[in-house]
């Protein structure tokens, strides 16, 4: 079974997201919604959810995520069945993390993989494309907008709620832990859209510096032999999807 876990500032009893998950997942699941006001950050909330969850695969998603591809749960289950060393699955991430740059996309293409679709409240509908390739790619870390984790990993690891008390870097930090024993991948097989865009302010920068300090002995970290060349940096690509893809929410 898959446990889908999200943390929200304004949770409601029966959310559109819950209906969306249940209709699109294509396999047995449970949906756990936590009230963010009761916890000291996302990491603490997720750790509490792990103690309640019943699934052997735990999927952590942001509260503005809505799936637009059917049977994504079956896709996940098959990946774990076919790869016993698979620990974490994300939809966007990087194969290289610098020792002095905390951004997940700092290495640029071709080291960043995956994509995230955004459908904002103002009507903007676009995809942030990390890379044009489709498939599964081993990475150092994934974006926390979607993190699927094998339940067994929580016997050894946890989200670092002591250091990361806000909403940033708990995801990359967990991946750094998990990669000690398991594979971390990005897959383009799971497709959803977000109803908001990430913000990078002073809090993000502060936790980013903390992340670099914590993992100083293991950074830079890479899953490939090549090393990024800052002088030839290629960023993510923003692709307008208006009129090119369906925008309705499945619920």
> How confident is the model over 117-128, as pLDDT tens digits?
999 988 899 999
Backbone angles phi, psi at 148, to 5 degrees: -100, 130
pLDDT digits (tens, 9 = 90+) for 153-163: 999 999 999 99
CB 152 within 8 A of CB 237: no
Name, in order, each residue with C-beta under 8 angstroms of 33's C-beta and a sequence gap of 6 or more: 6, 7, 8, 11, 15, 18, 63
**With contact defined as beta carbons under 8 Å apart, do 126 and 32 qualify?**
no
Q: Identify the CATH assignment for 2-240 out of 3.40.718.10, 3.40.50.1820, 3.20.20.70, 3.90.550.10.
A: 3.90.550.10
Q: Tokens 């709620």 belong to which residue?
A: 161
Domain chopping of the chain, boundaries: 2-240
The counts of H helices and E strands in the chain are 5, 16
Task: Measure the CA dihedral 201/61/7/28, to 10°.
Answer: 180
pLDDT grade for 243, boundaries at 50, 70 and 90: confident
Could you give the CA distance from residue 105 to residue 16 in angstroms, rounded to a whole number? 31
pTM score of the predicted model = 0.96
What is the tens place of the pLDDT at every residue in 49-101? 999 999 999 999 999 999 999 999 999 999 999 999 999 999 999 999 999 99
- Return mean pLDDT, the chain: 95
Q: For 164-214, what is each residue's pLDDT tens digit?
A: 999 999 999 999 999 999 999 999 999 999 988 877 789 999 999 999 999
Which one, of 76, 77, 53, lies nearest residue 4 by Cα? 53
Whole-number pLDDT of residue 14 = 64
């Amino acid at each position: 079974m898959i446990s889908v876990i999200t943390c929200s500032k304004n949770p409601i009893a029966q959310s559109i997201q819950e209906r969306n998950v249940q209709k699109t997942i294509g396999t047995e699941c449970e949906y756990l919604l936590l009230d963010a006001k009761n916890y000291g950050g996302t990491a603490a909330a997720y750790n509490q959810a792990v103690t309640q969850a019943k699934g052997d695969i735990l999927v952590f998603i942001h509260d503005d995520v809505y799936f637009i591809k059917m049977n994504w749960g079956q896709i996940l289950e098959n990946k774990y069945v076919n790869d016993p060393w698979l620990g974490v699955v994300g939809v966007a991430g990087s194969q290289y993390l610098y020792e002095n740059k905390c951004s997940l996309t700092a290495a640029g293409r071709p080291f960043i993989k995956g994509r995230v679709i955004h459908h904002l409240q103002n009507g903007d509908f676009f995809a942030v494309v990390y890379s044009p390739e489709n498939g599964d790619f081993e990475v150092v870390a994934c974006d926390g907008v979607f993190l699927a984790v094998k339940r067994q990993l929580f016997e050894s690891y946890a989200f670092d709620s002591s250091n990361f008390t806000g909403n940033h870097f708990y995801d990359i930090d967990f991946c750094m832990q998990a990669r000690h024993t398991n594979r971390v991948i990005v897959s383009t097989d799971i497709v959803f859209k977000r109803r908001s865009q990430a913000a990078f302010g002073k809090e993000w920068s502060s936790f980013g510096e903390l992340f670099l300090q914590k993992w100083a002995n293991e950074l830079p970290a890479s899953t490939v032999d090549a090393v990024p060349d800052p002088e030839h940096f290629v960023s993510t690509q923003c692709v307008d999807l208006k009129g090119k893809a369906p925008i309705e929410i499945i619920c």
